Amino acid sequence: MTIKTLRFYFDPISPYAALAFERLPEALADCGSYQVDYVPILFAGLLMAHGQKGPAEIESKRKWTFRQIAWAAQQLGIPMQTPVQHPFNPLPLLRLAWACGEPGNTPNRHQVEKILRHVWRSGGADAADPQRLAALRQDLAPRQDPASEAIKVRLREATEEALLKGVFGVPTIELDGRLFWGLDSLPMVAAALRGDAWFEGPDWDAAGAPRPGVVRH
């Protein structure tokens, strides 16, 4: 039996990544055997590469994002509280995530869960509070030093590798060379895992083919 591997690209700054993480096991419950590699990347690095602002940096978009997230969390039965400061600097959490695994390995689901819930299930506490970060680090007991140059390089390399593959946002799930972006892509991931014929025919490539259009200057 072939076990499929999914790569789940995330940044703990993203509420959509947190919801997708929580929802993933249930969304893929009837999809057979698979494994997930959880890959921490810097969302701000993606935004910079594509010349974009983050949702929380545009006031009207920020309001909609967090209203929609609050509604989605309630609908999914997932307790979620937005941290008192957002956006915040996620680098300590991203580096801690990479430091939890053996050199070259991604963190496991249990470790990622603790990091995401530190942000999104802490009653709205400051995710970047030094005392809370220190307590999280003690709890996770990372195998490597999160402040080491090796960890900083690994995070940078992972973000660059994701960009080269076409990742533009988080969460993104990679499966069989295809990229699925966002919380609402989980049904597509499930269909692909189940062997839906749509993914084997010409439709996937045809839908993504470039089309002529107006160019903004």
pLDDT of residue 19: 98
**Main-chain dihedrals φ then ψ at residue 87, nearest 5 degrees:** -75, 160
Minimal CA–CA distance to 5: which of 42, 33, 26, 39?
A: 33
CA 84 → CA 37, 88, 119, 123, 136, distances in Å?
Answer: 30, 9, 10, 9, 18
Rounded-to-10 torsion of CA 175, 23, 52, 203 = 40
Nearest in space to 22 (alpha carbons), one of 67, 64, 72: 72
- Please state, rounded to an integer, the average pLDDT across all residues of the chain: 95
Q: Residue 149 pLDDT > 90, yes or no?
A: yes
pLDDT tier at 216, thresholds 50, 70, 90:
confident
Residues 131-141: pLDDT tens digits?
A: 999 999 999 99
- What would you measure as the largest C-alpha separation in the chain, in angstroms? 54
Instruction: Render pLDDT for 67-112 as a digit per residue (tens, 0 to 9).
Output: 999 999 999 999 999 999 999 999 999 999 999 998 889 999 999 9
Q: Give, rounded to a whole angstrom, the gap between the first and last alpha carbons of the chain.
A: 51
% the chain with pLDDT above 70:
100
Tokens of 7: 């790569």
CATH superfamily of the domain spanning 4-207: Glutaredoxin (3.40.30.10)
Each residue of 43-78: pLDDT tens digit?
999 999 999 999 888 999 999 999 999 999 999 999
pLDDT of residue 123: 95
Cα-flanking dihedrals φ and ψ of residue 75, to 5°?
-65, -35
Nearest residue to 85 (alpha-carbon basis) of 68, 112, 66, 64 = 66
Say which residue, 211 or 133, is predicted with more confidence. Answer: 133
Question: Could you report the per-residue pLDDT of 163-206, keeping only the tens digit for each?
Answer: 999 999 999 999 999 999 999 999 999 999 999 999 988 999 99
Residue boundaries of the structural domains of the chain: 4-207
